[in-house]
Homo-oligomer: A and B are copies of this chain.
Amino acid sequence: MFESLRKHLEQVIEISDQEFDEFCGLLSPQKFKKRAILIRPGDLVQSEFYVVSGCLQVVHTSENGDESILQFAIEDWWVSDFAAFFNGTRARLTVSCIEDSTVLELNKNYLEELYGRIPKFERFFRIKLTGAFVALYERIQNGLEKNSTERYQEFCETYPNIEQRVPNYKIASYLGIKPESLSRIRRELQEKL
């Protein structure tokens, strides 16, 4: 369960066996069934989750019940309601499983303490956070300058093979388009091949 995490860390920092063991000691493995909810609006969010296997979604629900999918998380991604996690405020989002999923839960308080003890983990999370910030920044720009077909193609690059795992209407929600538009885009791309 921890091999993929070690690779994930070593893409960014070098770590010894002992440092890796210390980090693993802070993580709590959890298994969830499809449709299980990890975070609900109103929860205090103390944890972020590393995805070992499965697929999760981060959903915003409006007052009239409309759902918008803000993020998917597959193997090797971190997921949470990050605004609530970092700010210590109540969750506004729902994090739930689209498939049976195994995650490693990391509590915020452990993390602060780890930064003091082994500063290279602070480096690791700074660099991961930079990536997440840039991805969000670019997503806003893409919304301004790319059409739905281009955004769909980018989606397929960001989440390889996710199309086989996630229903169409969820992908359409993530892209901010109607399911019919997504079907049309796919058909057109298929015809071009």
Contact = CB atoms under 8 A, between A and B. Distances in A.
Interface of A: 60, 62-63, 68, 70, 82-83, 86-87, 92-93, 115, 119, 122-123, 125-126, 129-134, 136-138, 140-141, 144-145
A60 B140 CA distance: 10
A111 B137 CA distance: 21
Contact of A83 (B68, B86, B138, B145): B138
A145 B87 contact: no
A44 B15 CA distance: 32
A123 B63 CA distance: 38
Nearest to A63: B145
A63 to B, nearest CB: 7
A77 to B, nearest CB: 15
A141 B63 CA distance: 13
A134 B62 contact: no
A70 B140 contact: yes
Contact of A126 (B126, B132, B138, B141): B126
A70 B142 CA distance: 12
A191 to B, nearest CB: 25
Given A63-B145, A141-B60, A141-B93, A133 B126 contact: no
